[in-house]
Amino acid sequence: MTTYLEKPVFVTQPFLPPLEEFQPYLQKIWESKVLTNSGPFHEQLEIALAAYLGVKYISLFSNGTLALITALQALHITGEVITTPFSFVATTHALWWNGIKPVFVDIEPETFTLNPDKIEAAITPVTTAILPVHVYGNPCKVHQIEKIANTHGLKVIYDACHTFGAKLDGQSIVNFGDLSILSFHATKVFNTFEGGAIVCHDENTKQHIDQLKNFGFTGETTVVAPGINAKMNEIQAAFGLLQLKYVDESIKKRKEFSKLYNNLLVNVRGITLMKVKSTLDYNYAYYPILINEKEFGCSRDKLYEQLKRCNIFTRRYFYPLISDFPTYRALPSSATANLKTAASVSGQILCLPIYPDLGHDNVEYIVRCLLKSGKR
Ligand SMILES: *Cc1c(COP(=O)(O)O)cnc(C)c1O
């Protein structure tokens, strides 16, 4: 029997540790009166995250978007950058805020990530970099992209906002590319309320990034670059240290619900599940499905509306495509003919709720409502 949910279920719900465990951190901040500017918690979190992620250098940011914008500044990216239309809009906005022209390239049908076979045709004399996204935490074809970048002298900056903690062949995915960008927004696998980071590979680059996020200061009176204020504050950093203690457990629970969805949906006609490679140690950040209207018996948008009536709030990540937003629509690379796979996926994708406190009953309820919508 299908009962109506008393509380709405959203696509995600942030994980919060027990409140009393945060109190001692606040106590310390109140005692020290150090609120920001690379305070002790900021320094501790950088060390802890570098260890957890298996990376050498990480710079914390107030959010992922400022980290993206700063990453492009740090590598002096100009001209044109090849990127994907199938992402959160901040990926392309970061280019726009740097006066860089985005050039959209189509995605792959199974992983939803930038299609490397289509990159070279989009390179022009003013192309300086590639900005791919590890969509839903699914890694891009990193080795092929690296090869193309090396051949053409391009930088690679990964929007790794979905990929916290995920590993490919045992290697942290944020280690690929010249830089990788993380987001610790409330909706992500690891959150500091808002927050973000840049992962880099050498000390000089880290130093430069740290200067850029603090107005370009290198000392009390020396400003070496036109920096911005993108620093992570002590409350965020302290919260991150506490969150880190729970993140493995969070991912484990996500995995459980993901497996349950898989079991319940694997044989449903008209629904395609995301394939996770066997070499991928996945973080279960999202649970996307593709709806084939003809076979399923109901369109993606109709299903989305019907689930709302069951008090289930799924999200159409990523619909519309970034290339369809007014700012970007007139770009030559935004033409639908150039982005056929992205357009098709964007019209069929639906992300079902997944978060550590979701619960088996809710997963089963969501699937029951979903199957009812498919008229079978
Ligand atoms: C969340 C997200 C961002 C932006 O991060 P914020 O921390 O919210 O600024 C950028 N790109 C992708 C793919 C994201 O999911």
φ, ψ at 102 (rounded to 5°): -75, 140
pLDDT for res 4: 65
Reading the chain (376 residues) residue by residue, the pLDDT tens digits are 456 677 899 999 999 999 999 999 999 999 999 999 999 999 999 999 999 999 999 999 999 999 999 999 999 999 999 999 999 999 999 999 999 999 999 999 999 999 999 999 999 999 999 999 999 999 999 999 999 999 999 999 999 999 999 999 999 999 999 999 999 999 999 999 999 999 999 999 999 999 999 999 999 999 999 999 999 999 999 999 999 999 999 999 999 999 999 999 999 999 999 989 899 999 999 999 999 999 999 999 999 999 999 999 999 999 999 999 999 999 999 999 999 999 999 999 999 999 999 999 999 999 999 999 986 4
Atom of ligand 1 minimally distant from the CA of 185: 7
pLDDT computed for residue 6 by the predictor: 79
How far does the centroid of ligand 1 lie from the alpha carbon of residue 241, in Å?
Answer: 20
pTM above 0.85, yes or no: yes
Q: Which atom of ligand 1 is nearest to the CA of 162?
A: 15
Relative orientation angle of helices 64-74 and 203-212, to the nearest 10 degrees: 120
What lies within 8 Å, CB to CB, of 90 at 6+ separation is 64, 65, 68
pLDDT of residue 30: 98
Give the pLDDT confidence score for residue 35 in this predicted structure.
98
CA distance 77 to 98: 8
Spacing, Cα 116 to ligand 1 middle (Å): 22
What are phi and psi for residue 161, nearest 5 degrees?
-60, -20
pLDDT (0 to 100) of residue 5: 77
- What domains are there in the chain, each with its CATH number? 19-244 (3.40.640.10), 247-373 (3.90.1150.10)
β partners of residue 181: 159, 198
Question: Which residues lie with the beta carbon below 6 Å from any ligand 1 atom?
Answer: 63-65, 87-88, 90-91, 133, 159, 161-162, 183, 185, 194, 196
Residue having the nearest C-alpha atom to atom 2 of ligand 1: 161
CA of 67 to the centre of ligand 1 (A): 10
- Ligand 1 centroid from CA 375, angstroms: 36
Task: Give the per-residue pLDDT at 3.
Answer: 60
Confidence (pLDDT) at 1: 44
Question: Distance, CA 161 to ligand 1 centroid (Å)?
Answer: 6
Q: Please tell me the distance between residue 234's alpha carbon and the centre of ligand 1 in angstroms.
A: 21
- Partners of 171 in the β-ladder: 168
Atom of ligand 1 at shortest range from CA of 135: 13
| Selection from 198, 230, 200, 235 nearest residue 214 by Cα | 230
Mutation test of ligand 1: which of 61, 68, 88 has the most ligand atoms closer than 8 Å to its C-beta?
Answer: 88
Q: Which of 87, 183, 188 to mutate to test the pocket of ligand 1 (most atoms within 8 A of CB)?
A: 183
What number does the ligand 1 atom closest to the CA of 184 have? Answer: 7
- Shortest-distance atom of ligand 1 to CA 183: 7
Atom of ligand 1 nearest to the CA of 67: 9
